[in-house]
Amino acid sequence: GSLTVGELAEKLNKDSSELIKKLMFLGVMATKNEDLEKETIELIAEDYGVEVEEEIEIDELGIETQVEEDDPAKLEERPPVVTIMGHVDHGKTTLLDSIRHTKVTAGEAGGITQHIGAYQVREDGKKITFLDTPGHAAFTTMRARGAQVTDITILVVAADDGVMPQTKEAINHAKAAEVPIIVAVNKMDKEGANPDRVMQELTEFELVPEAWGGDTIYVNVSALKGDGIDELLEMILLVAEVEELKANPDKRARGTVVEAELDKGRGPVATLLVQEGTMKVGDPIVVGNTYGKIRAMVNDLGKREKSAGPSTPVEITGLNGVPNAGDQFVIFGDEKKARQFGEARANRAREQERSQTSKVSIDDLFDQIQEGDVKEINVIVKADVQGSVEAVKGSLEKIDVEGVKINIIHAGAGAIAESDVILASASNALIIGFNVRPDANAKRTAETEKVDIRLHRVIYDAIEEIESAMKGMLDPEY
């Protein structure tokens, strides 16, 4: 059967107007009562995370099928995904290194550990996945993007230091996400180690140890010496068992980006954590606002893989752009659909970006100045040759508009680089480029950081543009 825009909106629990807008990004102009093609319905549904399986009748597509119930018979145990949190210097990095070192290199001969943002170890024949970015920055960025990847949090507390501000923050994050906490009391090898004090202090946060009638697991460790690591891993498996972590490996994969970057030789690379299903080389994929076809898959030991199942982190290549940590990915049935869908998402993202204003944009400098009473414009000047740099600089400095000052924070010859953009972003500056362009990295960062880059071929144009913006900045004279 077929659906109209209005009917589909109702099934998805969305406004028709929202759907109509979405359709426009897909290049489909439709009114509320228009019938939609099956392909289009699938695209829309997928955008809302509703998977329309080939065998599912379109008519059945509803909010009920969004939480697509997996056949319980197909659910299999999956490794827990663990994040390590705690106060700075309490030993998070050392613990991650120690676990990896004692468990990975010893067991898997020939493996050269690769930093891909996550790794897996084996304990008692079972796997545990660790997110390799200590601290709650990673945890919160992912949560902010709606991704829930962590199953268990290890709260590291130094036995000689006790509960500190970031310890409390970590507890709050874990509790907000309803993720179980295991406490690793670290630095037990040190003189002043006082694990009782740590337990006492944490009791205030409802982390009551089992010994005192509570249900929080405490493990004493020395990340530095490797003491207690096995026990910690065993406790992780115990909690995982209680949590009954399961996933269906027998379907198209879905999951979250752990980290991503642009590699000079390989193009965009992204570490993906598969959360359900199995991902294979060659699969068409949409990741955040990027898409592609998985060209190669490498695990945390630098080994090429052909497929990756639930809770497995792999680094992939083959995307048309660099996604963000915390972005979701979905494997598609066919390539054309993935591209169509990826492009639609990219368009939408661009559209959203356009509606946001940059930090310092020449177009709204006037308004910004009026509201914020800013009397200074920070500017970075880049030009093709040093002579032009001096000429542009000299002319800018000569602009004489009462009450407003131009502050050239950096000037140099050469293309506009990412470092220029980062500097501009940090100091709320505009970038003026004379006979130069931003390189790809600079462009991308400028887009995300909302840095205004003005490119000119004639010095006069560059100066005039700034001058008129500045004139608009003046307080009215009475």
Q: Residues annotated in the binding site for GTP, as ranges?
A: 86-93, 132-136, 186-189
Contact pick of 13, 31, 60, 88 for ligand GDP (by CB under 6 A): 88
Residue number with CB closer to ligand GDP (225 or 398): 225
Residue number with CB closer to ligand GDP (92 or 382): 92
Q: Which long-range contacts (CB under 8 A, 24 or more apart) does 202-207 make?
A: 202/157, 202/163, 205/163, 205/168, 205/171, 207/155, 207/171, 207/181, 207/183
Contact pick of 78, 92, 143, 456 for ligand GDP (by CB under 6 A): 92
**Can residue 94 be called a binding residue for ligand GDP (CB under 6 A)?**
yes
Residue numbers 177-236 binding ligand GDP by CB under 6 A: 186-187, 189-190, 222-224
User: What's the angle, vertex CA 469, arms to CA 463 and CA 472, rounded to 5?
Assistant: 140
| Shortest spacing between CB 93 and ligand GDP, in angstroms | 3
**Can residue 254 be called a binding residue for ligand GDP (CB under 6 A)?**
no
| Shortest spacing between CB 13 and ligand GDP, in angstroms | 43
Report the Cα–Cα distance between both ends of the chain, in Å, rounded.
70
| Shortest spacing between CB 205 and ligand GDP, in angstroms | 19
Residue number with CB closer to ligand GDP (92 or 254): 92
**Can residue 137 be called a binding residue for ligand GDP (CB under 6 A)?**
no
Cα 364 → chain centroid: 30
Question: Applying CB under 6 A, which part among 90-98, 228-236, 279-287, 399-407 lies near ligand GDP?
Answer: 90-98
Question: Applying CB under 6 A, which part among 17-25, 91-99, 371-379, 445-453 lies near ligand GDP?
Answer: 91-99
* 239 CB-near residues (< 8 Å, 6+ apart): 80, 152, 180, 182, 217
**Can residue 344 be called a binding residue for ligand GDP (CB under 6 A)?**
no
Residue 449 neighbours by CB distance under 10 Å:
15
**Can residue 433 be called a binding residue for ligand GDP (CB under 6 A)?**
no
Q: Which residues does the annotation place in the binding site?
A: 86-93, 132-136, 186-189
Residue number with CB closer to ligand GDP (190 or 337): 190
- 348-374 burial, b at 16+ Cβ within 10 Å, e below that, comes to beeeeeeeeebbbbbebbbebbeeeeb
Q: How many helices (H) does the chain have, and how many strands (E)?
A: 15, 22
Side chain identity at 319, as an amino acid letter? L
* 324 CB-near residues (< 8 Å, 6+ apart): 145, 257, 260, 288
Cα separation, 365 vs 125, whole angstroms: 62
Question: Which residues in this chain contact ligand GDP in the complex, by CB under 6 A?
Answer: 86, 88-94, 134, 186-187, 189-190, 222-224
